[in-house]
Structure 1
Amino acid sequence: MELTHGWSRVLPPGVAERYELRETRNAAAVLAATSPTEFAEVCAVLAGFELTTADLVEAGGNESRLAARLNAAFRARGWREGRVDTVVTSRLQVQPWAPAGEHGVTVRESEVVNEGYKVDNVKGRVALDVEWNAKDGNLDRDVGAYRALYDAGLIDGAVLLTRTHDDLRELARELTRAAGGSDDEVRSRLSTSTTTHLGKLESRMTRGDAGGCPLLAVAISRRCWVPADGEPDRPAAPAPLMLTDELA
């Protein structure tokens, strides 16, 4: 599936310049036209978000804290968690046979309920998830949920917030080195090949996993990083560490 660039016409420059963006079916323009309030709120959250050094270098729970921070910003604007459930009802109508004295239709029904996946945020006709550094299987779940919601006529489009890979990994290395971190600590910063990032999401978008649902992918990049007071704009790293091929 071909990627579109409608986001360049509707996203505020301050947002477009800080994030890496991908979309299918002109998702940003669709959402700006059909859900202007929700689209403006997405832009406001993105404009106000800052990536901190702690998000990248502090051990334990950083990914969930960052995602919680973004989700809380949407909750404060009225967005709520949703779940995609499917109910299938099958009905057998047995017709009467007059010569046997039968008159009424006999109806038998069977209902199957499938409790589906949760969506982090839903408001109006827009669905939105935050996948900062989760297992990449979450992308299949999210995109599948968007497709189901769109096919059912419940949403007009979706937004998925994730991260870039190479530039943030390098920034995490620099920050960890500047803080005197060890080789093992450097190696652990966003280096796994099984977690969510834009490259993993883009491949799912271009092969059409979202079906007809317009999908806007917004990736947190190095340009979102804001140094703390007294922290240089670009960390000054000590002598290069010897890295293994894992980080090549």
Structure 2
Amino acid sequence: HHAKTNDVFNSYVREGYLDGHRIDFVSGRVAFDLEWNSKDQTYDRDLYAFSAFHEAGAIDVGVILTRGSSLDNKFFKSLGKVLDKDGEKEGTAEVYKKFGASTTWMGKLLYRLDAGRNGGCPVLAFGITPKCVIDP
């Protein structure tokens, strides 16, 4: 007959630790966020969430897909005017006015990655180029 041992284990669970963090898509141990023409501060939220999920052991890597540096005002000005709701006639507004320097694009993301705002979480960043959005 073996004597009973009274091992004591201490644990503390941080309830709701990941509740306030939103990521567009998580598959396995990869988190994915798409940022297209959002306010550039959303990168801070994304990178903080990646960091928190990584620190909690829930993901291994974060992936962000965003507007590449070559999708700039020069490119958008070349597109002319927006189309009407039916997509048949030109509207009055210029396309480039919908895409400003303060919206999400690779330059705004790289600045934050260089500053280490992703914490210890590795981040793979993809930038959409003009070749992805126009017919050759």
Deviations, residues 17-54 of structure 1 (Å, cap 9, x unaligned): xxxxxxxxxxxxxxxxxxxxxxxxxxxxxxxxxxxxxx
Alpha-carbon distance in structure 2 between the residues aligned to 1:175 and 1:224: 14
Query: Equivalences for 1:222-237 in 2 at 5 Å?
Result: 222-227=130-135, 233=136
Distance 1:186 1:113, change over 3 A: closer
Please tell me whether residue 131 in structure 1 is matched to residue 35 in structure 2: yes
Query: How many residue pairs align between the two structures?
Result: 118
**Given the two structures, how large is their TM-score scaled by the length of structure 2?**
0.73
Name the CA distance, whole Å, in 1 between partners of 2:53 and 2:95. Answer: 40
CA separation of 1:155 and 1:113: change in aligned 2, threshold 3 A: closer
User: Could you tell me which amino acid in structure 2 is paired with residue 188 of structure 1?
Assistant: K
**Counterpart residue number, 1:119:** 23
Aligned partners of 2:95, 2:20: CA distance in 1, in Å?
38
Please, which of 95, 114, 117 is the counterpart of residue 209 of structure 1? 117
| Structure 1 partner of 2:128 | 220
Give deviations 1:72-97, integer Å, cap 9, x for gaps. Answer: xxxxxxxxxxxxxxxxxxxxxxxxxx
Distance 1:150 1:198 in 2: 22
Q: 1:188 maps to which residue?
A: 97
CA shift in 2, pair 1:162/1:187, >3 Å:
closer
Could you say what secondary structure the match of 1:116 adopts? coil
SS in 1 for 2:108: helix
Matched, 1:147 2:47: no
Could you say what the CA RMSD is over the residues aligned between the two structures, in angstroms? 2.7
Greater length-normalized contact order (CA 8 Å, ≥ 6 residues apart) = 2
CA contact (8 A) 1:125 1:154 kept: yes
CA contact (8 A) 2:66 2:128 kept: yes
Which residue identity does 1:147 align to in structure 2?
S
1:171 deviates by 2.3
| Contact 2:23–2:32 (8 Å) recurs in 1 | yes
Structure showing greater radius of gyration is 1
Identity across matched positions, percent: 39
Q: Could you list the runs of 5+ residues in structure 2 that have no partner in the other structure?
A: 1-11, 84-89
Tell me how far apart the structure 2 counterparts of residues 185 and 226 of structure 1 sit (CA, whole Å): 17
More helix by share: 1
Q: Cα deviation per residue 1:82-127 (whole Å; 9 max; x = unaligned)?
A: xxxxxxxxxxxxxxxxxxxxxxxxxxx9x76463121100000000
TM-score (norm 1): 0.42
- The CA deviation at 1:167 is 3.5
Query: Is 2:60–2:122's contact at 8 Å kept on the other side of the alignment?
Result: yes
Matched to 1:197, the amino acid is W
